[in-house]
């Protein structure tokens, strides 16, 4: 079964609006990462949050992590049409940090111009 599960599966918003995607997972983790994938292409790393962190920012991205609820959220502020992509959370729960990433099924974000 998938360690990370994103919610919603699909999200459609207007340019300038904020987009929030959620991720839930089942086991203890070393860190949680968010990736972006443009259609049919490789994934690109966006941001990593460690298990002892609660919030992290990178440009227009804000990630939160609640280890008690085993959940994370990715907020993209002031969205642009170029943000249209699939977004995946990935949990690192391996014995050796970085050895095993488990990906969710992704959220398809569409930003309408």
Partner 1 sequence: EAQVTQNPRYLITVTGKKLTVTCSQNMNHEYMSWYRQDPGLGLRQIYYSMNVEVTDKGDVPEGYKVSRKEKRNFPLILESPSPNQTSLYFCATAAYNEQFFGPGTRLTVL
Interface residue list for partner 1 (CB under 8 A): 2, 30-31, 33, 35, 40-45, 48, 88, 90, 92, 96-106
Answer yes or no: are the C-beta atoms of 17 and 83 closer than 8 Å: no
Instruction: Spell out the residues 6+ positions from residue 4 whose beta carbon is closer than 8 angstroms to its own.
Output: 23, 24, 25, 32, 88, 89, 90, 91, 102, 103, 104
Q: Tell me the closest approach of the beta carbon of residue 99 to partner 1, in angstroms.
A: 6
Q: How far apart are CA 17 and CA 52, in angstroms?
A: 30
Answer yes or no: are the C-beta atoms of 89 and 101 closer than 8 Å: no
Q: Which residue number, 56 or 103, has a Cβ lying nearer to partner 1? A: 103
Q: Which residue number, 12 or 99, has a Cβ lying nearer to partner 1? A: 99
Q: Tell me the closest approach of the beta carbon of residue 90 to partner 1, in angstroms.
A: 8
Q: Which residue number, 2 or 28, has a Cβ lying nearer to partner 1? A: 2
Q: Tell me the closest approach of the beta carbon of residue 34 to partner 1, in angstroms.
A: 11
């Amino acid at each position: 079964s998938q360690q990370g599960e994103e919610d919603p599966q699909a999200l459609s918003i207007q340019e300038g609006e904020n987009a929030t995607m959620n991720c839930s997972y089942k086991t203890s983790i070393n860190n949680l990462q968010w990736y972006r994938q443009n259609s049919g292409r490789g994934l690109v790393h966006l941001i990593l949050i460690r298990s002892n962190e609660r919030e992290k920012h990178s440009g227009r991205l804000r990630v939160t992590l609640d280890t008690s609820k085993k959940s994370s959220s990715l907020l993209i502020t002031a969205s642009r049409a170029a943000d249209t992509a699939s977004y995946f959370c990935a949990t690192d729960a391996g014995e050796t940090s970085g050895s095993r990433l488990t990906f969710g099924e992704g959220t398809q974000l569409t930003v309408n111009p």
